[in-house]
Structure 1
Amino acid sequence: MLLPQEKKLAYAMVVVNASIIGLSFLFTKMALEHASPIDTLAFRFALSFAVMSIPVLLGQVKLQYRGKPTGQALLLAAAYPLGFFTFQTYGLKHASSSEGGILYAFTPVLTLLLASVFLKEATTLRQKLSIFLSVFGVVFIFTMKGSGIDWSNVTGILLLFLSGLAFAGYSVLARSLLRTFSPAEITYLTLGVGFAAFSAVALAGHAAAGTLGSFVAPLASGGFLVSIGYLGILSSLVTALTANYALSKMEASRMSVFSNLSVVVSLAAGALILGENITWYHAIGSALILAGVTGANMRSRRNKAKPRAATPTG
């Protein structure tokens, strides 16, 4: 059983995670004004890996991979960040960002299915309905905005679906591996793989095109540096640490539903920072998302009365 302090910290972590992701869309737009998606990812993961390497090199963060299933951990990194960002980047070339938002909202459903099959996680009917309620809240907002899914964009839709599946797979596999690895070990390995892979692809592309000079050109922009700072430190490093800690303490299906909170945060940020209007359907959709997240994470009275068997939490 989790201690009350651990439970509160795990929930605090996923709320922080969703809040950071909700704001990341603004900074991603800023970064993409100066660099290509692959270059942005290269700088983003280079910074996140470099920042986490500091306490590792100073001995403040202890890492021990010997005797642990590093092959499975590399498979985890292949799902996220490699698979998720690759599918998302190329998917958005063939589909709109609204379609991406709608399809990403179904990630908690995919996580629920994968967790029930591979982790044998059991959820109540109320929790299942609550997860679908949060998904409906996101779809409701995008639909009322006049957005929808153009089913003629088969390639884009398939790639965006695969990006959600990759993230769901990451959540399920990470939940399992965090019984062996610490959150810091998983985070450092996945960030390192992301840094190496995206940097290699970006540099190889510029070398082939003879444009290596343009690779570093965005670093002269203050706006790009600010956006990469947010994306690299907060939206990559901090979100990875918070997600991995939460997954070590709570079920993947419970945690995944919090991802839809990022839509609420994104709407609030758009209103406060960009002066965008909040309409009645934004308010209703946000209320549905919040209700779904709350319902999915409430214990039934039966579970409160009868303690559950302890589960390995890493």
Structure 2
Amino acid sequence: MEKKEEYLAMLAGIIAAVIFGFSFMFTKEALDLMSPFQLLGFRFICAVILLTALKLMNIIEMNFTDKNLHSLFLLALFQPVIYFLFETLGVELTSSSQAGMMIALIPVVVTILSAIFLKEKPSKKQLFFIITSVIGVVFIILMAGSGEMETRLVGILLLLGAVLAGGIYNILSRKSSLQFKPVEITYIMMVIGAVVFNGLAIIQHLLAGELTNYFLPLMKIEAIVAIVYLGILSSVVAFFMLNFMLSKIEASRSAVFTNLTPIVAVIAGVVFRGESFYWFQAVGGAMILIGVWGTNYFAQGDKLKKSQMNLNDSLKL
């Protein structure tokens, strides 16, 4: 029975990685039909509606009584507001495959921020792989900074902003998780995202004198498909898959599945959208993925060593 649950957990991890990988392609598709603020507003409304329906059907449980919701506002500022703003604008100026590779850097940034703010210093091996990832990013930026690639350079810098926001969110979420369940944190994030981005989109349309056209993109089936994918599959279904996986296998093992996301993003962008994929993106992307893998892998090894040392110390006593 335990083996079966482990296999199901790994399957859930693969499904989540595939969903996240394709999300960049659907974001790119949707941006051809609507503004970034509109897309984000519609996406989060879709997620809020689904989560609310699941709560009303008693499929999920959320209880905000006597809980300090103010502590979630700073969290929501970085994720979803800053993160998705930078990610969506970055995808608009680059490609879905490029975005997938850059967003893969988040675990590396989390390790760096943990060392700065939580005093969780990385090992020498982790440091080597962190530097490898950084060199991969710098290589892509330098190679993209000429000719027709200048627009992509701005997009890459925006994606780095999303990566930094995602890393800060990971650090802040550790504190929030002590008081709130993951589904409660997610629900508040989706609500704030829906309010902020729809508010910005409405203001944008008001200034342009096009408020009557606000829901016009929803007349196209392609827009509906993209919004449903991003709002339901990417924001809710993948979230439940990750929760199930984390409930069955340790976090260090689950981190390996996140490395599948950029691979899926690259394949989806090149195969389904016919995006260009340059040799320097392949080289830089490989360095990023190797760096992410090494940072996660040796974090797991260090934890095992520390556990063994603690065990040995206790046996001595």
User: Structure 2 length normalisation: TM-score?
Assistant: 0.74
Distance 2:4 2:288 in 1: 25
Matched, 1:127 2:126: yes
Write out aligned runs for 1:1-314 (5 A): 16-89=15-88, 96=94, 104=103, 106-136=105-135, 142=140, 146-148=143-145, 160-241=159-240, 250=251, 255=255, 261-274=260-273, 288-298=287-297, 299-300=300-301, 303=304, 306-307=307-308
Q: CA deviation at 1:177?
A: 1.6
What is the Cα-based RMSD across aligned positions, in Å?
Answer: 4.3
Which deviates the most, 167-176 or 84-93? 84-93
Retained in 2: the 8 A contact 1:27–1:230? yes
Consecutive unaligned residues of structure 2, counting only runs of 5 or more, are 311-317
Q: Which amino acid aligns with 1:189?
A: I
Identity among equivalent positions (%) equals 36
Three-state SS of the structure 1 residue aligned to 2:215 is helix
Q: CA deviation at 1:184?
A: 0.6
Retained in 1: the 8 A contact 2:21–2:261? yes
Q: Which amino acid aligns with 1:183?
A: P
* Residue deviations 1:23-69 (CA, integer Å, cap 9, x gap): 12211121112111111111111111111111112222111223333
Consecutive unaligned residues of structure 1, counting only runs of 5 or more, are 310-314
Distance 1:102 1:55 in 2: 33
Question: Structure 1 residues 29 and 157 mapped into 2: Cα distance closer, same or farther (>3 Å)?
Answer: closer
Question: Structure 1 residues 137 and 19 mapped into 2: Cα distance closer, same or farther (>3 Å)?
Answer: farther
Which deviates the most, 283-292 or 127-136? 283-292
Retained in 2: the 8 A contact 1:135–1:260? no
Q: What is the total number of aligned residue pairs between the two structures?
A: 302
Which deviates the most, 276-285 or 121-130? 276-285
Question: Structure 1 residues 14 and 127 mapped into 2: Cα distance closer, same or farther (>3 Å)?
Answer: farther
Question: Structure 1 residues 202 and 301 mapped into 2: Cα distance closer, same or farther (>3 Å)?
Answer: closer
Q: CA deviation at 1:247?
A: 8.4
Q: Which residue of 2 aligns with 1:312?
A: none
* Residue deviations 1:168-200 (CA, integer Å, cap 9, x gap): 111111123212211111111101110111112
Retained in 2: the 8 A contact 1:102–1:139? no
Retained in 2: the 8 A contact 1:130–1:296? yes
Distance 2:6 2:130 in 1: 20
* Residue deviations 1:250-290 (CA, integer Å, cap 9, x gap): 47xx95x9766433212222344346687877766665555
Question: Structure 1 residues 80 and 302 mapped into 2: Cα distance closer, same or farther (>3 Å)?
Answer: closer
Three-state SS of the structure 2 residue aligned to 1:295 is helix
Q: CA deviation at 1:22?
A: 2.2
Q: CA deviation at 1:71?
A: 1.5
Structure with greater helix percent:
2
Retained in 2: the 8 A contact 1:187–1:241? no
Retained in 2: the 8 A contact 1:174–1:247? no
Distance 1:8 1:308 in 2: 30
Question: Structure 1 residues 201 and 80 mapped into 2: Cα distance closer, same or farther (>3 Å)?
Answer: same
Distance 1:5 1:303 in 2: 25
Retained in 1: the 8 A contact 2:17–2:260? yes
Retained in 2: the 8 A contact 1:171–1:247? no
* Residue deviations 1:89-146 (CA, integer Å, cap 9, x gap): 56678x6559877765554443222222333434322233334444555666x479x5
Q: CA deviation at 1:201?
A: 1.9
Q: Which amino acid aligns with 2:20?
A: I
